[in-house]
Amino acid sequence: MERPILASIDTGALSHNLARVRELVGNSRIWSVVKARAYGHSLKAALAGLGQTDGFALLDLDDARWLRAQGWDKRILLLEGLFNEDDLSSVIELRCDLVVHCAEQVSWLEKQSHPITVFLKLNSGMNRLGFTPDAYRLAYHRLHAQGHHVHHMTHFANADRVDREPSVGAQMECFSKTIDGLQGETSLANSAAVLWHRNALGDWVRPGIMLHGISPTGAYKDIEHAHLKTVMSLSSKIIAVQELQAGDAVGYGARYVAKQAMRIGVIACGYADGYPRHAVDGTPVWVSGPTDKTSGIICPIAGQVSMDMLTIDLSHAPWATLGTSVELWGKNLPVDDVANQAQTIGYELVCAIAPRVPVEII
Catalytic residue ranges? 35, 252
Q: How far is the CB of 179 from ligand PLP (least distance, A)?
A: 17
Q: How far is the CB of 111 from ligand PLP (least distance, A)?
A: 26
Contact 165, 174 (CB under 8 A): no
Q: How far is the CB of 332 from ligand PLP (least distance, A)?
A: 23
Alpha helices in 78-220 (DSSP H): 88-93, 103-110, 133-145, 168-179, 191-196
Q: How far is the CB of 115 from ligand PLP (least distance, A)?
A: 23
State the Cα–Cα distance between residues 250 and 312, nearest whole angstrom.
10
Alpha helices in 188-252 (DSSP H): 191-196
In angstroms, what CA-CA distances link 139 with 82, 126, 195? Answer: 16, 19, 31
| Residue 75 marked as a ligand binder | no
Contact 125, 166 (CB under 8 A): yes
**Which of these, 124, 126, 110, 127, lies nearest to 179 by C-alpha position?**
124
Peptide bond into 300 cis (omega under 30): no
Q: Which is nearer to ligand PLP, 190 or 324 (CB)?
A: 190
Q: How far is the CB of 355 from ligand PLP (least distance, A)?
A: 22
Q: Give me the residues that bind ligand PLP (CB under 6 A), please.
A: 33, 79, 155, 190-192, 206-209, 216
| Residue 128 marked as a ligand binder | yes
State the Cα–Cα distance between residues 207 and 57, nearest whole angstrom.
9
Position closest to ligand PLP via CB: 208
Q: Which is nearer to ligand PLP, 207 or 334 (CB)?
A: 207
State the Cα–Cα distance between residues 13 and 230, nearest whole angstrom.
6
Q: Which is nearer to ligand PLP, 214 or 267 (CB)?
A: 214
State the Cα–Cα distance between residues 335 and 283, nearest whole angstrom.
11
Classify each residue of 308-340 as buried b or exposed e, where b means 16 or more C-beta atoms within 10 Å of its C-beta: bbbbbbbeebeebeeebbbbbbbbbbbbbbbbb
**Which of these, 10, 41, 11, lies nearest to 357 by C-alpha position?**
41
Annotated binding site: 128, 307
Annotated binding site for substrate: 128, 307
